[in-house]
């Protein structure tokens, strides 16, 4: 009983914080670049694609065997560098790509393509197709 009351109190507190601290931030090229390079300072970004909802960005890197992924699951940013095609799968759907990252703590991502030419994305995502990457590369 005490656990249920605690859980209800937690939900109430979480909603209170959601109401008082609404999250309006979206990804911008500057935020994507700054945060990705903070995580991977030895990488060079060639091109940034941000999805229509401003929650996900894919980055073409000078190192064409990998692709950058920047997510904003809430008000904070999460970055990953993914070896092509070892560490993720992509399946196209209606006006979007579903990115399934082979990472326990990164949920499937819906990347709304919008105005981005699909062939440019596809070219990037297939660039390192023959590369299998290091065993422990993250």
Partner 1 sequence: MPLDLPKPTEWAIPLFILCILIEIAYGYKTGRAVFEKKDTFTSMVMGLGSTIVSASLAGITIVTAYWVWENFRLFDLGATIPVFLAALVLDDFRYYWIHRFGHRIRWMWAAHVIHHSSQHYNLTTALRQTWTSPLTPGFLLAFPLYIIGFEPAIVFFVSGLNLIYQFWIHTEAIDRMPRWFEAVFNTPSHHRVHHATNPKYLDSNYAGIFIIWDKMFGTFIPEDKSLPCRYGLVQDLGTYNPLKVATHEWVGIFKDMWHAKGIKNKLMFLLAPPGWTPDGSRLTSDMIKARDLKYNPVKTPKS
Where on the chain is the footprint of partner 1 (CB under 8 A)?
Answer: 3, 6-7, 9-11, 13-18, 20-21, 23, 31, 34-35, 37-39, 41-42, 71, 73-80, 103-107, 134-138
Shortest spacing between CB 51 and partner 1, in angstroms: 15
- Give the residue with the Cβ less far from partner 1, 3 or 119: 3
- Give the residue with the Cβ less far from partner 1, 41 or 119: 41
Shortest spacing between CB 100 and partner 1, in angstroms: 12
Shortest spacing between CB 129 and partner 1, in angstroms: 20
The torsion angles phi and psi of 48, rounded to 5 degrees, stand at -120, 130
Which string of DSSP letters, residue by residue, matches 60-127? EESSTTEEEEEE-SSSS-EEEEEETTTTEEEEEETTEEEEEES-TTS--EEEE-TTS-HHHHHHHHHT
Shortest spacing between CB 22 and partner 1, in angstroms: 9
Nearest to 29 by CA among 6, 75, 60: 60
Q: Across the strands, what pairs with 58?
A: 49, 69
Whole-angstrom Cα distance, residue 28 to residue 124? 20
- Give the residue with the Cβ less far from partner 1, 69 or 96: 69
Whole-angstrom Cα distance, residue 125 to residue 131? 12
- Give the residue with the Cβ less far from partner 1, 15 or 46: 15
């Amino acid at each position: 009983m005490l656990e249920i009351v605690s859980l209800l109190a937690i939900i109430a507190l979480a909603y209170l914080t959601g109401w008082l601290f609404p999250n309006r931030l979206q990804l911008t090229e500057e935020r994507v670049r700054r945060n990705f390079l903070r995580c991977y300072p030895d990488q060079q970004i060639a091109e940034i694609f941000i999805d229509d909802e401003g929650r996900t960005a894919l980055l073409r890197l000078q190192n064409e065997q990998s692709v950058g992924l920047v997510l904003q699951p809430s008000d904070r940013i999460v970055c990953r560098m993914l070896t092509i095609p070892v560490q993720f799968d992509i399946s196209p759907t209606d006006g979007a790509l579903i990115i399934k990252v082979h990472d326990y703590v990164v949920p499937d991502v819906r990347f709304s393509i919008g105005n981005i030419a699909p062939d440019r994305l596809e070219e990037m995502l297939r660039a390192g197709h023959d590369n299998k990457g290091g065993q422990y590369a993250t």
